């Protein structure tokens, strides 16, 4: 194989990449720490498969990621399969089927890889890891607040700083539009204009009904100002109920985490197509893209009515950008002559050991070459570049000295 051929084999499709040391290890460790945070609060881990039958995977909330789902034919069943683009719909299916008889509220968590058809401008990656939690069968504002707090506290526990939560109310615009008698087509166009924060387009699409939507658009901002602006509006009953619930959720979150930065965007709908209540997006100052998002949705019932649920998903590529790089590993080079017992004792003391396979005249140089911070010399772990333990002279076969 030529160098050119080898170069071609290293090419990967757009949006896919090899994750190399130490990043792969850091991602795995952070995922496990997040799942441990979820588990400590009563969320039990589930592990859905990568592939499911298409008609099952794309039911309910899964229908909203249909355009992002890869499909292929199963040679065994001769049925179409879908490769998951999001894990939340799979957890909803597990709750509605395998765990239909489990006591509610049901707390589940997960972590795994997803693959999407297209990346976005902020997230060009098409394959990335997700970690998240779902609270199923609880309709109260306390459930909404618990999920917001779980997401924020878990990120804080792994070291994310300057975190902010943007609270959203996806049903709010629809409730106002329905009370005004706007058609579904007009409402959809209005949502697009509001998502773009395009006041001129809102006025054009809503026409004589533009005033309440313009007021909702202006209400976005820091939580206190936003709630005051929303509270001053004359809203139809369904919309007023959504604002009242948002106010209650903010009270509960603030009582538990008074220092958490909260903002409100009452008209944001992008990415919340299947949300039915209070939703949120997680950001960290100075970090590109969202760390995660979540909110309330309806899960399909196996045979009975749908259940209400709320949860969140964290995007590990963004989460890792919000964390400092991992500290250098304590890697100890153990020369072959030191023996396996020495390496085992060092591992018991917390070292990562790299064992020599052959005797080297200069173990310090070999340790440096293999990226080790320390080397085993004279029954002790010595820093490779420790000035107080300079390399010792060794005898060449020709009788001259060389310095290790």
- Closest C-alpha among 52, 165, 149, 110 to residue 313: 110
* 354 assigned to some structural domain: yes
* Cα–Cα distance, 243 to 190 (Å, whole number): 20
Assigned domain for 14 exists = no
Whether the CA torsion 364, 366, 372, 378 is positive or negative: it is negative
Q: Which residues contact 238 (CB under 8 A, 6 or more apart)?
A: 171, 175, 178, 179
Burial of 310 (0-12, 13-18, 19+ CB in 10 A): buried
The answer to the question of residue 293 being in a domain is no
C-alpha to C-alpha distance for 242 and 173, rounded to whole angstroms: 10
Predicted confidence at residue 404, as pLDDT, reads 36
pLDDT score of 398 more than 50: no
* CB distance 309 to 134 below 8 Å: yes
Percent pLDDT > 70 in the chain is 92
52 three-state secondary structure: strand
pLDDT classification of 391: cutoffs 50, 70, 90: low
CA distance 319 to 321: 5
Q: Which of 111-115, 213-217, 293-297, 358-362 has the lowest mean pLDDT?
A: 358-362
For the stretch 195-219, pLDDT in tens is 999 999 999 999 999 999 999 999 9
- Mean pLDDT score of the chain: 91
Following DSSP, what letter does each residue of 299-347 receive, concatenated?
A: EPPSSSPPEEEEEEEEEHHHHHHTSPPPPPP-EEEE-GGG-HHHHHHHH
- Give the number of domains in the chain: 1
Q: What is the pLDDT of residues 115-169, one digit of tens each?
A: 999 988 777 889 999 999 999 999 999 999 999 999 999 999 999 999 999 999 9
Between CA 39 and CA 73 the distance in angstroms is 36
Instruction: Label residue 196 exposed, middle or buried (CB < 10 Å: 0-12, 13-18, 19+).
Output: exposed
d(CA 342, CA 355): 10
Query: Domain limits at 343?
Result: 332-403
**78-123 pLDDT, tens digit each:** 999 999 999 999 999 999 999 999 999 999 999 999 999 998 877 7
351: in domain? yes
Answer whether 38's CB lies under 8 Å from 110's CB.
no
CA 102 distance to own-chain centroid:
27
Burial class (CB in 10 A: 0-12, 13-18, 19+), 121: exposed
Q: Looking at the domain assignment, is residue 161 inside a domain? A: no
Residue 352: φ, ψ to 5°: -90, 125
Query: Residue 357 falls within a domain, yes or no?
Result: yes
Q: Do the domain assignments include residue 73?
A: no
Torsion sign over Cα 231, 168, 162, 36: positive
In a domain, 141, yes or no: no
């Amino acid at each position: 194989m030529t160098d050119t051929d080898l170069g071609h084999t290293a090419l990967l499709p757009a949006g896919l990449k090899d994750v190399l040391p130490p990043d792969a290890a850091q991602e795995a460790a952070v995922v496990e720490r997040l799942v441990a945070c979820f588990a400590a609060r009563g969320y039990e881990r589930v592990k859905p498969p990568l592939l499911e039958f298409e008609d099952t995977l794309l039911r309910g909330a899964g229908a909203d990621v249909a355009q992002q789902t890869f499909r292929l034919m199963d040679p065994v069943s001769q049925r179409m399969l879908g490769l998951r683009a999001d894990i939340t719909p799979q957890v909803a299916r597990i709750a509605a089927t395998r765990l239909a008889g489990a006591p509610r509220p049901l707390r589940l968590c997960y972590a795994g890889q997803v693959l999407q058809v297209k990346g976005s401008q902020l997230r060009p990656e098409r394959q990335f890891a997700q970690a998240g939690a779902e609270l199923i069968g609880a309709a109260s504002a306390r459930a909404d607040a618990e999920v917001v707090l779980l997401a924020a506290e878990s990120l804080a526990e792994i070291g994310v700083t300057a975190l902010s939560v943007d609270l959203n109310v996806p049903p709010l615009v629809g409730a106002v539009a329905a009370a005004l008698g706007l058609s579904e087509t007009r409402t959809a166009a209005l949502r697009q204009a509001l998502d773009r924060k395009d006041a001129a387009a809102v006025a054009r699409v809503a026409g004589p009904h533009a005033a309440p939507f313009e007021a909702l658009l202006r209400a976005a901002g820091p939580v206190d100002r936003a709630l005051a602006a929303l509270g001053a509006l004359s809203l139809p009953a369904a919309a007023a109920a959504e604002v009242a619930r948002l106010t209650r959720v903010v009270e509960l979150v603030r009582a538990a985490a008074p220092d958490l930065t909260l903002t409100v965007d009452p008209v944001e709908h992008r990415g919340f197509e299947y949300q039915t209540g209070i939703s949120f997006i997680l950001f960290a100052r100075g970090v590109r893209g969202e760390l995660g998002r979540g909110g309330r949705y309806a899960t399909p019932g196996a045979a009975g009515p749908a259940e209400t649920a709320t949860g969140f998903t964290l995007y590990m590529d963004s989460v890792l950008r919000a964390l400092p790089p991992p500290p250098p590993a304590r890697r100890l080079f153990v020369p072959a002559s030191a023996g396996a017992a020495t390496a085992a004792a060092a591992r018991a003391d917390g070292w990562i050991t790299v064992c020599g396979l052959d005797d080297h005249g200069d173990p310090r140089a070999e340790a440096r070459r293999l990226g080790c911070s320390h080397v085993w010399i004279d029954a002790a772990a010595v820093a490779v570049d420790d000035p107080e333990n300079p390399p010792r002279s060794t005898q060449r076969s020709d009788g001259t000295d060389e310095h290790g």
